[in-house]
Amino acid sequence: MASEETSRKPRVAICGGGIGGLCLAVMLSNLSHLDVRLYESAGQFKEIGAGVMIWSRTWRILEDMGLASEFAKIAHAPPTGEMGVGFDYRRSDQPEEGFRFKLVEMPYGVHFLDVFVNALPPGIANFGKRLVSYNHQVIRLSSPLQPISLQFADGSISECDLLIGAEGIKSGVRAQMYREAAMARGDLGLLDHISPVWTGTIAYRGLYCGKSKHVVSYSISQGDIVNIVTFTSRPERHGEPYSGDWVVNCDKQELLDSYAGLELGIPSFDLSLSESQLRVHLNQDAFILARLLSKAMRPTRDSLSALLKAYEAVRLPAANAVLRGSYESGRMYEFT
């Protein structure tokens, strides 16, 4: 007779309800052999940023999920396979009118979060759950899985067999994982990967671009809204720790002073890949991980470990390539 430990469904906990975590939760919710829970620290799902560009590979994933028709309703324009203006590079770092120096065409993008929220079955999302720490439980060696105890900031606890950190750049799961790995391997250099470092760039919600500055501007919500984000950089400060708040209000004069000497009144439509590509790759990360987990009908500790190693072998190089490319693109946009 099977014990409760061997007969229950494997429990997957996803910490973080952004695009990556929510997309993965939707995909895994369709796998009947898994018990999926999503934990979000906020009181509800919310957009951070305004939109992303959808590439053909990502669109095929959305079609596979059965969500392409819903995304088509909120896209800048329904996908027809035709090309549109994606990158309109304009030099603007002078008082007189600037000029276009390159035009690139590609498909357009959409809002992500709402469609995924509507596709998530009830009972999976848990709000107000900020993960504080996790612990591997000590159980008998014959048990196929190794439960993980989760401790949340509100004092509640839960258990899972597979923990997925999707909380973003300030991930608590990643921080604890690196601390434990540093101690186990005797490699204190791993601790340097816990806290993010500053690139030297500040993004303003505003207008205009130029040397050591550039602007991202694109329409969302079927063209009803234009999102504009401007950047000003101090390349010499790249790699410094940044201890202040990441998002703050600034007065109008601070923005104007940052763009003194640039052409004024001429919007620049330079659609940066940096955040857009990173967000779209979260969708691809979720797709690969969900496909691997779909094969784990009766997972064990060893098979889950092999599965995660396969995921890392495929996605880690891709993620690092996007990270490096995004940083290099930002410098190229600012002629630095």
- From CA 282, how far away is CA 237, in angstroms rounded? 28
CA distance linking residue 145 with residue 128, whole number of Å:
28
| 205 catalytic residue (yes or no) | yes
Residue 259: Cβ within 10 Å count:
21
Strands of the 131-136 sheet, one edge to the other: 131-136, 148-152, 157-160
In angstroms, the CA 130 to CA 148 distance is 16
Give the Cα separation of 250 and 254 in Å (integer).
7
Contact 259, 213 (CB under 8 A): yes
Q: Which of 179, 205, 234, 291 is catalytic?
A: 205
Which tokens in the block code for residue 234? 């101090």
Distance CA 68, CA 38 (A): 23
Q: Which of 52, 47, 48 is nearest to 218 (CA)?
A: 52
Nearest to 268 by CA among 224, 218, 225, 221: 218
The residues carrying an active-site annotation are 205
